[in-house]
Structure 1
């Protein structure tokens, strides 16, 4: 049998054979790369326009020693007060996260094409998810602050509703990716629509529900620090009071407490998510592994068969047996109920004030309408442009640094496992720093303006982008890399020709997601003097010009939703 040998294009031309042509890229692909080049040009322009340079950073770092001297020694609150502030913060974050899960599940069921009863309801649910994700937590907190006053309620509602934007989207996407077999079997057996959802959708979705809730808890913990600036209780409020009075010793002590909390929560939730999603090798570790070992040969019957279980009277038992898995589910659900109940008690929610706020909703809404620019249109427009510039410049900083760090954190790219682990730990440490605390530190060192905000968000981008880059590289097909390596390619050539090329579409999607996150975050950092529209938002809130607050909200929504639409289109084309 004849062997067909591929002929190189150069040799084909020499032999007079037709040279195969590379297929032209699709029009949408060309448009995406044109948009990405446009964003790159805009990011470089923003970098220059904001005067972010090594000279600017170096001149600010000259005051770092003076700042450190003003924060030392750290002034921690009395242990009783510190524990009370910490528990109050955790209570608020716990209730907000639980609220987001309770609201997101039904919304996700209506939004997912596999479970929605009608197309218009699915579209409405998707729109609600996008809008809630577009409105920053701080904006919602300002509105609820006017309705319910100071305390935990504005923060709980603000973080809970805003979280629906992310949690609901992830739940809806997970529902659409589920195996349809169990639902089809239940439908064939005559189960109603809700029986199909409760028995065929919710159980297999449960690991994703818990993992996403833990991830959102981590995000809400960082957000609670920002909401302290509008009166939400806990460590955030104490931190805001300390920094507003220039008590940097107390402020930095509280910032260190927040940092430790973020690291601990990140490690715990990351370990639980890994165990739940089945990404650990071999037997599970920690609490879940202990329950596995405890139930072996005790609860699960070693002689169990597929025969139906029967009660003493001979009837078939329909309820599942109390095996190890069922005990773990029961204990987990019981623990969640107890924790949420304790959080409700610890948050000190005033039900009377909540009811009064709902009753006064019509009168409160009148204060926010009709929107008005307050004669500040030019200033608001310039501030919004600065906010976008901060988002673009910080994303550029994050991309330039995160790609090499993320590459060295990938096990299939790093020269050895020790290097990969070192950079993974570095990414976790960077992610632990809330952007607001970084912004405050840079502002104290460098002064007010957009540069501290861009640097804070740029460092924050390194943590998230670095993790996404490393994960994308590790998910690439190693067979392609091995094929290039067997051809004599060096490690750098394998990375450039095989690994990076496979992960490049994912990189584009990650960059657009980070840009989206940074522009939203840039609207918030203005509250501490980092420039942009956030400064005017807080000023309008403080002088009770709620019509101006509404105008600024509309301006933010227009920018964020426009970027959301562009990002969704780019991700749809490249992925």
Structure 2
């Protein structure tokens, strides 16, 4: 007898989980972003940045416009003299930063100084010089060397090491090890390996960074005029302090035009020297032979990307680079650079005796800054430091709201037409060319002294930097992913949200915190002209010779900047 048993019920297979469980890192990133957003919204509300504030300022804006016309430009001779002084200071400062950064970057790069205390000391130097505002260095050097160009050159040059040194170190670490290994195998010393195998590869990045830093130093030199550095900035500060608005705004517009023109020239020079194409990767044999200057095949000269090796009648090889159009152009650029440096050194009118006297008095001057003191206003300094952070947070949020649409429309792979992308790229260049100080002066006159003017000035200025970074990040996304999404029938907006934006999200978050870092330092500088925050107390302490209070304020700013930079570094690692 056969007994039929009912079929056993099939065990239910667990459903596949389509959404991964959030990791602790992703939760941490979300918490940090939420905290930034809440703090930024709180800062906007605390600074009373709203429609009512703008409405109340309309009358001031109309009155200000009526008071600046007609513009009062100085005579042509005075303008040329001021421009020459400013460009001389900026040129010498940039050259100084290049020299110092080249040395610091060799010590900071892993492939040239691996695992030694010297490398960590060099990295610390880069961080410290970047965190200390240039105006603080200017106050120190003005005390040492008096009014004039020397203080501005040293302040801008040393502060620039923070950016230029880091970029140079990264460029050195990105070089190919092949040429240097070939030189080492041939018996070359460490310095010969660096000169022959490292610097030639990093030179394009060195040139591009130096030209970019020149643009930044030109804009920064304007605000140094408020503490006594000669040039256009000093004349602008005198005009605004005496409420000579026709002269002040005329100089401000001239500064804007000068910065935009210099940036356009700098960009053209970068493109002419470096081109728009990335260097082609070559095989090991080509890299090694190119590093040695070329090679000979079958007894004749072979064309390579560099010098050509020729056989002499005696049987030896001599390096004889041909005078191609590219070499002639680069030689002309080099000659023009040397002449510009010579003219800038002469135009700076550096008093060597005063320089030597200042260096001799350095220990005595440093005693004025140490130990740090509070001047009896510690509580007020803490409050103003919080205001400075609020300015930076509010400016970053408002700047993001302004920069996102502009950056999207400036990206060639996202903009509706190439013409639209080009137009918004021009907008970004123009805004980048306007120093934050100019925006601050305008908003101070319109909204009055205080933190509101500083936040609005930095938010508009953020369009130049943040808009460019957003556009570049969108253009660097993988086009094949976008094409795959589009082939599936997605619309243009769906492709942007699902492919382009998703790929660039980590970079956009990194840019956001970088802008916050920049805004904290910039908010300190704008406080010097009355745009709120701790910078106002920094300037007052310097004016009444309370240099111990200056040191305390610098340490407070340094601590905040280091905290923000630490969060930014963690965010970049977490989202990479």
**SS of aligned partner of 1:62:** helix
Instruction: Out of 313-322 and 198-207, give the one that drifted further.
Output: 313-322
Matches within 5 A, 1:44-443: 44-116=41-113, 118-279=115-276, 305=302, 308-311=309-312, 313-443=314-444
Could you report, residue by residue, the CA deviation over 1:495-533 in whole angstroms, capped at 9, with x for unpaired residues?
111110011000000001000000010001111111000
Work out whether 1:487 is the aligned partner of 2:488. yes
Let me know the Cα RMSD of the aligned residues. Answer: 1.8
Aligned length: 542
TM-score where L is the length of structure 2: 0.91
Closer/same/farther in 2, CA of residues 33 and 278 from structure 1, 3 Å limit: farther
Instruction: Out of 50-59 and 465-474, give the one that drifted further.
Output: 50-59
Distance in 1, matches of 2:109 and 2:273, equals 23
**SS of aligned partner of 1:309:** strand
**SS of aligned partner of 2:461:** helix
Distance in 2, matches of 1:192 and 1:329, equals 28
Distance in 2, matches of 1:416 and 1:326, equals 37
Cα contact 1:274–1:280 (8 A) shared by 2:
no
| Alignment partner, residue 523 of structure 2 | 522
Cα contact 1:148–1:353 (8 A) shared by 2:
yes
Distance in 2, matches of 1:117 and 1:415, equals 48
Could you report, residue by residue, the CA deviation over 1:79-117 in whole angstroms, capped at 9, with x for unpaired residues?
101100001100000000000000000100110001115
**SS of aligned partner of 1:549:** helix
Distance in 2, matches of 1:455 and 1:134, equals 23
Instruction: Out of 475-484 and 331-340, give the one that drifted further.
Output: 331-340
Give how far 1:187 is off.
1.5
| Alignment partner, residue 458 of structure 2 | 457
| Alignment partner, residue 511 of structure 2 | 510
Instruction: Out of 241-250 and 176-185, give the one that drifted further.
Output: 176-185
Cα contact 2:144–2:365 (8 A) shared by 1:
yes
Give how far 1:21 is off.
4.0
Could you report, residue by residue, the CA deviation over 1:137-161 in whole angstroms, capped at 9, with x for unpaired residues?
0011011111111000111000000
Give how far 1:17 is off.
6.5
Distance in 1, matches of 2:155 and 2:60, equals 36
Distance in 2, matches of 1:111 and 1:573, equals 24
| Alignment partner, residue 286 of structure 1 | none
Instruction: Out of 320-329 and 208-217, give the one that drifted further.
Output: 320-329
| Alignment partner, residue 478 of structure 1 | 479
Cα contact 2:273–2:330 (8 A) shared by 1:
no
| Alignment partner, residue 574 of structure 1 | 575
Instruction: Out of 544-553 and 230-239, give the one that drifted further.
Output: 544-553
| Alignment partner, residue 287 of structure 2 | none
Work out whether 1:40 is the aligned partner of 2:9. no
Cα contact 2:301–2:310 (8 A) shared by 1:
no
Cα contact 2:395–2:456 (8 A) shared by 1:
yes
**SS of aligned partner of 1:405:** helix
Cα contact 1:91–1:346 (8 A) shared by 2:
yes
Give how far 1:426 is off.
1.3
Unaligned runs of 5+ in 2: 1-11, 280-299
Cα contact 2:144–2:358 (8 A) shared by 1:
yes
Cα contact 2:447–2:453 (8 A) shared by 1:
yes
TM-score where L is the length of structure 1: 0.91
Could you report, residue by residue, the CA deviation over 1:387-438 in whole angstroms, capped at 9, with x for unpaired residues?
0000000000011111111111111111111111121111112212111111
Closer/same/farther in 2, CA of residues 178 and 24 from structure 1, 3 Å limit: farther
| Alignment partner, residue 550 of structure 1 | 551
